[in-house]
Amino acid sequence: MVLDNDAGGIGLFRSEFIYLNSKTFPTEDQQFGIYKKVAEEMGGKKVIIRTLDIGADKQADYFNLPKEENPALGYRAIRICLMQRDIFKTQIRAILRAAAYGKVSIMFPMIISVSEVKDAKAILEECRKELIAEGKEIGEVEIGIMIETPAAVMLADELAEEVEFFSIGTNDLTQYTLAIDRQNPKLDPFYDSHHPAVLRMIEKTVQAGHRHNCWVGICGELGADTTLTETFLRMGLDELSVNPGGVLGLRKVIRELDLGSAKAPETPEPEPPKAEAPKTEAPKADEPKEEVKKSRFSFFGKGKK
């Protein structure tokens, strides 16, 4: 479906489905077989594999995850991977091996701190060395993280120093920014992914990423919302990842946009300060060092190198 719809690549390969469709932990070879097939079939187009994002709404019995009061705030995703490293290493080894057969990127979900990214990268490096020592063929992978927590947005400058790309998970970013359970249909009237706080989070992330030569995409559902496409392009987003069926429609909308003559971005302006702020010479951490180019969008993002 991805190729039939002429997508530029796969922006979000949800690897947890391999685990959810299995009765026990999928082995390295089983995972390698799947990732290799995808990488090969994509014929050189980029495949971004998100590492295991299990927990909360995605449960597999054999993980024996504890019952939690607040699963969305609980033991999930990268937290499981950093605590149960054998599971994580099995997956990373499979991804590194598959990267020898195509253009593979890896991204870590639910990041809230720089130390998590450093830890995950150290594990990746450990796997790389082990595989080389074992004489296994491996490929280079581009490394990125999902920006789907307000903490990650606030630390985006520091996080961008660690990775080559950001992929904004607007489904969770909306849930955590608005403190609204995305699983609770009763709250649907309040779950507003056009909320100015969410849009400003996205804009902040793009600006921080670009300050550090990190490309920035959206892989949450909001990327497919064509009422926001112009806003996203004006913010400088480099990539939008949508369901295969949405690719051509979105591309048409993008091609019909004229960013040169259309009016200014519709991102809401911050409210004016109530009292006069103290004067300071120091630049703010999130202030762009140079103006972010408005037209750097491509169907697939730019690499750091």
CA distance 113 to 72: 17
- Partner whose footprint covers residue 214, from Mg ion, ligand PEP, none (CB < 5 to 8 Å by kind): none
Which of 15, 51, 105, 170 forms a contact with ligand PEP (CB under 6 A)? 170
From the CB of 219, what's the least distance to ligand PEP, in Å?
Answer: 5
- Partner whose footprint covers residue 65, from ligand PEP, Mg ion, none (CB < 5 to 8 Å by kind): none
Instruction: Return the amino acid letter for 206.
Output: V
CA distance 154 to 138: 34
Extract the tokens encoding 170: 């607007």
Interacting residues with Mg ion between 199 and 228 (CB under 5 A): none
Could you say whether residue 148 binds ligand PEP (CB under 6 A)?
Answer: yes
Residue 94 has a CB neighbour count (10 Å cut-off) of: 25
Helices (H), the chain: 16-20, 28-41, 78-83, 85-98, 114-133, 150-154, 156-160, 170-178, 196-211, 229-235, 247-256
Q: Which residues contact 252 (CB under 8 A, 6 or more apart)?
A: none
Max Cα-Cα span within the chain: 64
Which of 116, 142, 164, 172 forms a contact with Mg ion (CB under 5 A)? 172
Comparison of 38 and 127: residue with beta carbon closer to ligand PEP: 38
Comparison of 110 and 138: residue with beta carbon closer to ligand PEP: 110
From the CB of 50, what's the least distance to Mg ion, in Å?
Answer: 9
- Partner whose footprint covers residue 144, from ligand PEP, Mg ion, none (CB < 5 to 8 Å by kind): none
CA distance 26 to 3: 26
- Partner whose footprint covers residue 239, from ligand PEP, Mg ion, none (CB < 5 to 8 Å by kind): none
Comparison of 100 and 180: residue with beta carbon closer to Mg ion: 180
Cα angle vertex 121, ends 116, 122, to 5°? 95
Interacting residues with ligand PEP between 245 and 304 (CB under 6 A): none
From the CB of 172, what's the least distance to Mg ion, in Å?
Answer: 4
Contact 255, 297 (CB under 8 A): no
Stretch that binds ligand PEP, among 1-9, 166-174, 191-199, 229-237 (CB under 6 A): 166-174
Residues that bind Mg ion (rule: CB under 5 A) add up to a total of: 3
- SS3 string, 86-115, reads HHHHHHHHHHHHHHHHCEEEEEECCCCCHH
Burial class (CB in 10 A: 0-12, 13-18, 19+), 23: exposed
Comparison of 198 and 214: residue with beta carbon closer to ligand PEP: 198
From the CB of 210, what's the least distance to Mg ion, in Å?
Answer: 23
Stretch that binds Mg ion, among 12-20, 165-173, 178-186, 285-293 (CB under 5 A): 165-173
From the CB of 304, what's the least distance to ligand PEP, in Å?
Answer: 22
From the CB of 171, what's the least distance to Mg ion, in Å?
Answer: 5
Could you say whether residue 172 binds ligand PEP (CB under 6 A)?
Answer: yes
Q: Among residues 83, 96, 98, which one has the least CA distance to residue 127?
A: 96
Half-sphere exposure at residue 206, Cβ-oriented, CA atoms within 13 angstroms: 25
Binding region for Mg ion (CB under 5 A): 148, 169, 172
Site residues, ligand PEP (CB under 6 A): 12, 14, 53, 148, 169-172, 219-220
